[in-house]
Amino acid sequence: MFVKHIRSIRDMLPVHLAECITSDLDILMKTYASDSFISRKMYRRLCNAYVSKVQKYLSKNPSAEIPLYYDFTNGFYPPSPGSIRKVFESAEESAETPYGYSFKERYTRELHSVDVQPDEAVAFDWTFQLIKNYLLPGDKAAFTGIKGKTNEIISLLIVPSTKTADVSHALIQSRQKRESFSPSVVYTDTCPNAMVFYKAILGTRSK
């Protein structure tokens, strides 16, 4: 899927990536790595290939000069971190998949499929370490919602601030998109702040 989308937007990424590289992108971009990490890895692999070629060349006691690095690469270099991220995001949002909808939509459906029953608790938390590898302009924090009984994620947002206004729409959608979303207990790392906000969106239950 990722390779197909690269071919459709060559103006953004005028190189061909090997299958092993696309495999790395699929794994690393979703975990602890970043676009800059992957770009540096590509440059390192290219440099290592050049050094290996030079060592083999010198082992034969050649009379000609060592080819320059530019000649070895023919003027082509790995894509920039920004290009890597743009292509990856485009592939994630593409509906050219066997099931007809994008990976991004699939992730959303998976989150919405987690129901919260009346006897269950949820926890909402603002975190900052989670987005340190994203390096997206204007993004300050991640807002997460966790179902207490199973530790399943019910909400995940990257937001420009810790204001409740930045997550209100997502919380409303989170409740409306689920067949059941009526927790008996709500934990937040900002309690008792914003109690009126959470009660207005999630409602209250009588004792």
Share of the chain above pLDDT 70, in %: 88
Give the span between the Cα atoms of 207 and 193, in whole angstroms. 22
Say which DSSP state 100 is in: S
Question: Is residue 155 located within the same domain as residue 84?
Answer: no
Question: Is residue 133 located within the same domain as residue 94?
Answer: no
The torsion defined by the Cα of 84, 85, 86 and 92, in degrees rounded to 10, comes to 110
Pairing between β-strand 185-188 and β-strand 152-159 as defined by DSSP bridges: unpaired
- H-helix or E-strand spanning residue 51: helix 35-58
Q: Which of 52, 81, 108 is the last residue of a domain?
A: 108
Question: Is residue 75 located within the same domain as residue 143?
Answer: no
In total, how many domains does the chain have?
A: 2
CATH number of the CATH domain containing 174 = 3.30.420.10
Question: Is residue 75 located within the same domain as residue 120?
Answer: no
Question: Is residue 150 located within the same domain as residue 63?
Answer: no
Residue 141 has phi, psi (to 5 degrees) of -150, 165
Question: Is residue 207 in some structural domain?
Answer: no
Question: Is residue 94 located within the same domain as residue 123?
Answer: no
Give the tens place of pLDDT for each residue, 107-162.
Answer: 888 888 888 888 899 999 888 877 776 667 778 888 889 998 899 988 888 888 88
Q: Which of 83, 108, 133 is the last residue of a domain?
A: 108
Confidence at residue 81, expressed as pLDDT on a 0 to 100 scale? 85
Question: Is residue 22 in some structural domain?
Answer: yes
Q: Which of 108, 139, 172 is the last residue of a domain?
A: 108
Digit-by-digit pLDDT tens for the chain (207 residues) are 334 333 333 334 445 667 777 777 777 877 766 788 888 888 998 999 999 999 998 998 888 888 888 888 887 788 888 888 888 888 889 898 888 889 889 888 888 888 888 889 999 988 887 777 666 777 888 888 999 889 998 888 888 888 888 988 888 888 888 888 888 888 888 878 888 888 888 777 655
Confidence at residue 147, expressed as pLDDT on a 0 to 100 scale? 92
Question: Is residue 24 in some structural domain?
Answer: yes
DSSP-assigned letters across all residues of 16-50: ---HHHHHHHHHHTTTT--HHHHHHHHHHHHHHHH
Question: Is residue 165 in some structural domain?
Answer: yes
Confidence at residue 16, expressed as pLDDT on a 0 to 100 scale? 63
Question: Is residue 162 located within the same domain as residue 127?
Answer: yes
- For 85, the token pair is 């991220």
Which range marks the domain in which residue 129 is found? 113-202
Give the span between the Cα atoms of 127 and 149, in whole angstroms. 21
* HSE, side-chain direction, 13 A CA sphere, residue 28: 18
Confidence at residue 70, expressed as pLDDT on a 0 to 100 scale? 86
Question: Is residue 47 in some structural domain?
Answer: yes
Question: Is residue 12 located within the same domain as residue 81?
Answer: yes
In Å, the largest CA–CA distance within the chain is 90
**177, 155 in Cβ contact below 8 A?**
no
Confidence at residue 108, expressed as pLDDT on a 0 to 100 scale? 85
Question: Is residue 118 located within the same domain as residue 152?
Answer: yes
Question: Is residue 132 located within the same domain as residue 166?
Answer: yes
Query: Token match 């060559």: residue?
Result: 10
Question: Is residue 59 located within the same domain as residue 73?
Answer: yes
Confidence at residue 118, expressed as pLDDT on a 0 to 100 scale? 86
